Amino acid sequence: MSNIIAGHLSSSIDSAVSELRSGNLVAIPTETVYGLAAIASNRLAISKIFSLKGRPTNHPLILHIAEIGDLEVWAKNISTSAMNLAKTFWPGPLTLVLDRTSKVSVEVTGGRETVAIRCPSHPVTRELLKKLSDAVVAPSANRFGRVSPTCAQHVLDDLGVDAPLILDGGECTIGLESTIIDCSSEPFQLLRSGAITASQIWDACEIKIIAGSGDSRASGMLNKHYAPRCRVVLVDDLLSAQKTRNSLSTGHTNVRILEAQDDLVTYAHSLYASLRQADIDEVDVLIAVRSPQSGLGIAINERLEKAANSAD
């Protein structure tokens, strides 16, 4: 059966459930980016994620659960503050790193005593998880180090003939990966910026989140992430972008400017598609304008910095 539907876009949640139960991978839509999912209780299926992505096996995966009530199956020693975050922001684009229970297999955490968990809000994946009656683990559905997919076609473009069944849930509304907070010790640390910001967390829960120690526990912290093939140069405003373009546009260099959008939601939503499009159009240098360093702009700038670093 998997040979018939693998690599095809589908809207059938039932087919996705049966693929996962058979130990196969399925690309799933979330509100952040598409994920490459395996059923959390199947270690062999989990190992397929690493080989398909080309991801080192010590890079831990995020567990996706159907509802907050499932949290204690996978995590223990959950502090009142961590529970408060889950209750306030789930379902939604927030991942919590917590002490793991023995139910979490070693393949998921890369041998760590902690596990990253989130409860996604995309209605298709919520229904999938409810029907499955199990959790899935899912990294972004791209080859390791590349730009995360924000629509079903991106997954197919990236994984090609190796693509599993792709459950098509339309374009991801947010377009950037979830915020990751390490709640395994106090004070909580921000490991990856996303649509939920430290200041929103403070406003809603009065929990202080400090900057992560930058020890690359989150693979998104590595330089080689969110990378298009073209060179990315960062500037602060459009005028600098135009000056940089003029200085580079001699010869046959194909230079493009990626303008910052005043509406940060729109900028985040379209950012990865713009990076992909630059490669499709064989752009040599993409000059990207930074966002203001607040709100969603923090996450946008973090991804732009990684994209720029990776070209070195």
Between 24 and 114, CB nearer to ligand TXA: 114
Q: Tell me how far, at minimum, the Cβ of 36 lies from ligand TXA, in Å.
A: 8
Per-residue x/- track, 78-97, ligand TXA (CB under 6 A): -----------------x-x
Q: Tell me how far, at minimum, the Cβ of 70 lies from ligand TXA, in Å.
A: 15
Q: Which helix (H) or strand (E) holds 96?
A: strand 94-100
> Is 30 near ligand TXA (CB under 6 A)?
yes
> Is 121 near ligand TXA (CB under 6 A)?
no
Burial of 226 (0-12, 13-18, 19+ CB in 10 A): buried
Contact window for ligand TXA (CB under 6 A) among 70-78, 84-92, 172-180, 265-273: 172-180
Single residue of 59, 103, 143, 229 touching ligand TXA by CB under 6 A: 59
Paired tokens of 276: 């992909």
Binding site partner of 33, from ligand TXA, Mg ion, none, Cβ cut-off 5-8 A by kind: ligand TXA
Single residue of 140, 179, 291, 310 touching Mg ion by CB under 5 A: 140
> Is 193 near Mg ion (CB under 5 A)?
no
What is the distance, to the nearest Å, from the Cα of residue 211 to the centroid of all Cα atoms in its chain?
19
Per-residue x/- track, 83-122, Mg ion (CB under 5 A): ----------------------------------------
Number of residues located near Mg ion, criterion CB under 5 A: 1
Q: Which helix (H) or strand (E) holds 20?
A: helix 13-21
Between 100 and 231, CB nearer to ligand TXA: 100
> Is 61 near ligand TXA (CB under 6 A)?
yes
Paired tokens of 99: 């002490």
Whole-number Å distance between alpha carbons of 307 and 237: 18
226 touches 140 (CB < 8 A): no
> Is 29 near ligand TXA (CB under 6 A)?
no
What is the distance, to the nearest Å, from the Cα of residue 120 to the centroid of all Cα atoms in its chain?
11
- For 20, 24, 66, 162, 220, the CA distances from 92, given in Å and listed in that order, are 23, 26, 11, 29, 19
Q: Tell me how far, at minimum, the Cβ of 7 lies from ligand TXA, in Å.
A: 19
DSSP string, 238-277: HHHHHHHHHHH-STT--EEEEPPPSSHHHHHHHHHHHHHH
74 touches 181 (CB < 8 A): no
Nearest to 31 by CA among 265, 237, 292, 277: 265
Whole-number Å distance between alpha carbons of 23 and 5: 14
Residues that bind ligand TXA in the complex, under the rule CB under 6 A: 30, 32-33, 35, 59-62, 95, 97, 109, 112, 114-116, 120, 138-140, 177-178, 180, 191-192, 217-220
Residues that bind Mg ion in the complex, under the rule CB under 5 A: 140
